[in-house]
Amino acid sequence: MRLITTQLARKGLLVLSRAAAFPALLATSAATWAAPGDAVVDEAKRWVVNMTEGVTAVSREIFDLHMLIFWICVGIAVVVFGVMFWSMLMHRKSVGAKAASFHESTMVEIAWTVLPFVILVLMAIPATSSLIKIYDTSEADIDIKIVGYQWKWQYEYLGEDVSFFSNLTTSQDEIYGRAPRGEHYLLEVDEPLVIPINKKVRFLITANDVLHAWWVPALAVKRDAIPGYINDAWTIVEEPGIYRGQCAELCGKAHGFMPIVVHAMEEQDYNDWLVEKKKEAVEIAKMNELILPLDEMYARGEEVYLQSCAACHGVDGKGGVGPSMVGTAITTGPMQGHVDVLVNGVQGSAMQAFGNQLSELDLAAVVTYERNAWGNNMGDMVQAVDVLNYKKNQ
């Protein structure tokens, strides 16, 4: 009895504290609505708890379906709870009500069976129509293969010879609280996925290592990325803009650090971008033939390391999920073994094969950096041609 009384007292204090805070909330709201227009919009967005309407026809249809089902549920709740509370109020013992004595009612049993069935059928009709549209990936104008890695995305434009990785660009200082967080904290990348508007784009989604999920709410696209299996989805974006998403499947230590950024643009702008990406691929191939000095290779290697390796081995090279890189048999041993680990990975461990993820130049640069950073000071340098020859001779 004492426990029940204590719980009731606590609930009463909670209600009173919320009631006391209500005038302050009203004052805050009044001040917010008196603020400039942008501040009002930002504050309104901050308090939104509903799903987004999105920027595609399918996303809006999903939103409308969601609201339809929501209001049906609200209507059912109003009727059920209304009858329940009315019965409790009008047939209470204090007004002399006496409970009727009966065993069953066939009409009532038929009603509470047929009525829910009819409601479910009426809900299923628009839901089925939407599902058919969601899974109709036929007649796409563009096919893009999406591969999830720990912890980044690879995008390959099928038939265009364009492929690249998309990595988080939020700085370590922001992540660890040493610098103010930017506007798009943990939702910014070095290479966004670029698509044209008003074109049907089909996504072929898979993974290289563990389960991931490619999710962009504004496009109403969310598909699991499963190693050895391909899921497909599609979208037609109607408005140019930048739309952000995240991996939605717990995939390890840096699950929260593999954002998705989709840049939808006019068709002509997209075509221009595609031409530039093809030129970049040619330039990268030419760079693999260059012989760079140690300081340039070291600087480039540090950049690649922070982007692709630091999540596991630590910014300072002292390890974390992965082993330390300071004075180890890999970073101070034979260079060929070091290159082999980066190119082919380590079977049975979290060490991925980066041979197809990084260019020969970047692989050579990161080996050079690791062998000379954190006091390793080996004085060694690897060039892109060395990595290329190693791959050919495997």
What are the sequence ranges of the domains in the chain? 1-49, 51-92+104-136, 142-280, 288-393
Task: Split the chain (394 residues) into runs of 10 and give each run's mean pLDDT.
Answer: 36 36 35 45 69 90 94 94 92 83 82 92 92 93 95 93 90 88 92 96 95 95 95 95 95 91 96 91 77 88 87 85 86 87 83 84 89 88 82 78
Question: Reduced to 3 states, what is the DSSP secondary structure of residue 226?
Answer: strand
What is the reported pLDDT for 43? 62
What is the reported pLDDT for 17? 37
Give yes or no for a contact between 240 and 248, defined as CB atoms under 8 angstroms apart.
Answer: no
What is the reported pLDDT for 8? 33
Question: Reduced to 3 states, what is the DSSP secondary structure of residue 202?
Answer: strand
- Assigned architecture for domain 142-280: Sandwich (2.60)
User: Prior bond to 215 cis, omega within 30?
Assistant: no
What is the reported pLDDT for 101? 78
288-393 CATH: 1.10.760.10
What's the rounded Cα separation, in Å, for the pair 219 and 236?
Answer: 8
Model confidence pTM above 0.85: no
Phi, psi of 92 (to 5 degrees): -80, 160
Tell me the pLDDT tens digit for each residue of 268-311: 999 999 999 988 888 877 777 778 888 888 999 898 888 888 87
- Assigned architecture for domain 51-92+104-136: Orthogonal Bundle (1.10)
Average pLDDT, the chain: 84
Q: What is the DSSP letter of 323?
A: P
Phi, psi of 68 (to 5 degrees): -60, -50
What is the reported pLDDT for 44? 63
What is the reported pLDDT for 38? 61
What is the reported pLDDT for 106? 85
Kindly give, in sequence order, each residue whose CB lies less than 8 Å from that of residue 239, ignoring residues fewer than 6 positions away. Answer: 55, 197, 264
What is the reported pLDDT for 172? 83
* Closest C-alpha among 268, 189, 245 to residue 233: 245
What is the reported pLDDT for 20? 35
Q: What is the DSSP letter of 385?
A: H
Q: Which amino acid is residue 221, in one-letter code?
A: V
